[in-house]
């Protein structure tokens, strides 16, 4: 573990130079870990507005990747296995100028950050240009904090290491950013909000309930999007800071694969986490605003929720021993309530977290039941979702990691924001109630960009 240090920039530069000297004579990547203060993700994202960036904040854990030492892309149905099996050679690790084993880096260990589209091919068009089917980055600079300790890690190979002046200059930018503590600031004034056609939404819900009534499916998650135009370019770092202030109970995410458009989210749903042989998953489905008792008593919402629990249990049952609570609990968010079942499992043999993700996603919480019918319906009746309701997170070189589902999300591109929200449609769903549910879910992002409470 790297301890917080108040040593000056001169010592950090000296440690950096020592690490670069090792990197120049080492095959593969060298990870140079330096002490850093605890700070919010938005501070670093704001300092690098044109760079590749990925940020993850969950409770006290903060990960921020800036730039790319290595990029991995996966395509089509094999996208997750292509990413998981890609070789990453770590030749050395250096902490405070001293060479150590890469496996002893702890908080500073190499991690790849990124995610993938809802389904292959869903992120081929604007505003998702550059996102693709699946993309992960081993950051040039990784900032990692557990809330009490923090570190900044530079990844360089022997060719990179000769550019010492560049890395000293970039270290100085990072240290200034970590000291700046960026807070929430408003986006440019809003000039237009396009919410789509409510009648089209009602017709879509009626068509889904008709398919359910005929026995073709049990559930389809319908999504709608709205487009917001601003008087100037949007500011992803400021939106991330606003989500930190407003939705600390959620996982806050930012993904910018090319230095262009940015996916930003405050999602309540972490799909899967792997720590060694231990697995944890969230089943989150069934939504209400009328109070916990009403939601727990709703047969419709309990049925919708159990479809998700059953799907996760089946997906993990082949590879692990699964433990499921007898009944859901209430997950309270700023604007609504959800039924929540925390699911735990023990793997029978090691499996990469991306392998688990491929088994699980999309669950009926974001797709439907049966999955094949629901996914085909979504593809025929909705604009491509891109990375909305898709997986975003991180993994290390041992296959541990955590992935969340990009709900309560939007993509910022130039002077536009595109926001998404969905509702699970089952027997008994009413179009106007489902429309109101999506409006409630959109409030998470609308409030953060200045278009609501």
Q: Is 121 left (phi over 0), alpha (psi -120 to 50) or beta?
A: left
On whether the CB atoms of residues 9 and 16 are closer than 8 A, the answer is no
Cα–Cα distance for residue pair 172/176, rounded to 1 Å: 6
Residue identified by tokens 């550019």 is: 163
Which helix (H) or strand (E) segment holds residue 172: the answer is helix 164-180
219 is catalytic: yes
Cα–Cα distance for residue pair 203/435, rounded to 1 Å: 11
Cα–Cα distance for residue pair 271/282, rounded to 1 Å: 6
Which helix (H) or strand (E) segment holds residue 23: the answer is helix 9-24
- For the chain, what is the largest distance between any 2 Cα atoms, rounded to a whole number of angstroms? 71
On whether the CB atoms of residues 405 and 365 are closer than 8 A, the answer is yes
**Which of 51, 218, 269, 437 is an active site residue?**
269
398 is catalytic: no
How far is CA 144 from each of CA 20, 81, 180, rounded to the nearest angstrom? 20, 26, 17
Q: What angle do CA 189, 195, 201 make, to 5 degrees?
A: 170
Cα–Cα distance for residue pair 449/239, rounded to 1 Å: 6
> DSSP assignment of 354-385, as one string?
HHHHHHHPSPTTTSEESHHHHHHHHHHHS---
Query: What are 388's two structure tokens?
Result: 């909305």
Q: Which DSSP category does 77 fall into?
A: G
**Which of 51, 219, 235, 441 is an active site residue?**
219
Cα–Cα distance for residue pair 184/4, rounded to 1 Å: 25
Annotated catalytic residues are: 219, 269
């Amino acid at each position: 573990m790297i301890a917080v240090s108040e040593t000056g920039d001169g010592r950090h530069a000296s440690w950096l130079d020592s690490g670069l000297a090792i990197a120049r004579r080492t095959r593969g990547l060298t990870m140079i870990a330096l002490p850093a203060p605890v700070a919010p993700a938005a501070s670093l994202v704001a300092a690098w507005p044109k760079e590749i960036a990925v940020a993850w904040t969950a409770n006290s854990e903060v990960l921020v990747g800036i730039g790319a030492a290595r990029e991995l892309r996966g395509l089509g149905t094999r996208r997750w296995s292509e990413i998981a099996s890609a070789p990453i050679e770590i030749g050395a690790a250096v902490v405070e100028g001293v060479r150590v084993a890469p496996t002893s880096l702890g908080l500073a260990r190499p991690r790849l950050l990124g995610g993938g589209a809802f389904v292959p091919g869903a992120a081929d068009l604007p505003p998702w240009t550059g996102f693709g089917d699946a993309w992960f980055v081993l950051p040039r600079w990784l900032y990692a904090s557990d809330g009490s300790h923090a570190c900044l890690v530079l990844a360089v190979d022997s060719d990179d290491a000769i550019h010492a002046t560049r890395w000293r200059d970039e270290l100085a930018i990072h240290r200034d950013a970590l000291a700046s503590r960026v807070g929430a600031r408003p986006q440019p004034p809003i000039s237009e909000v396009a919410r789509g056609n409510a009648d089209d939404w009602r017709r879509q819900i009626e068509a889904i309930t008709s398919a359910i009534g005929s026995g073709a499916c049990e559930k389809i998650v319908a999504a709608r999007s709205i487009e917001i135009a601003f008087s100037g370019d949007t500011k992803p770092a400021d939106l991330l800071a606003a989500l930190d202030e407003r939705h600390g109970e959620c996982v806050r995410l930012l993904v910018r694969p090319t230095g262009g458009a940015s996916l930003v989210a405050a999602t309540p749903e972490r799909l899967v986490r792997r720590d060694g042989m231990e697995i944890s998953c969230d089943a989150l489905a069934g939504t209400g605003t009328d109070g916990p008792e009403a939601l727990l008593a709703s047969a419709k919402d309990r049925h919708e929720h159990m479809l998700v629990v059953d799907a996760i249990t089946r997906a993990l049952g082949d590879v692990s021993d699964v433990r499921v609570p007898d009944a859901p609990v209430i997950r309270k968010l700023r604007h609504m309530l959800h039924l929540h079942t925390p699911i735990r499992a023990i793997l029978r043999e090691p499996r990469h977290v991306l392998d688990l993700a491929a088994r699980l996603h999309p669950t009926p919480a974001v797709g439907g039941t049966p999955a094949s019918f629901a996914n085909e319906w979504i593809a025929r009746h909705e604009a491509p979702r891109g990375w909305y309701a898709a997986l975003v997170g991180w993994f290390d070189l041992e296959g541990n990691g955590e992935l969340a589902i990009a709900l309560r999300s939007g993509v910022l591109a130039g002077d536009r924001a595109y926001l998404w929200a969905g509702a699970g449609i089952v027997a008994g769903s009413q179009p106007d109630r489902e429309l109101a549910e999506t409006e409630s879910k959109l409030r998470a992002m609308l409030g953060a960009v200045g278009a609501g409470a």
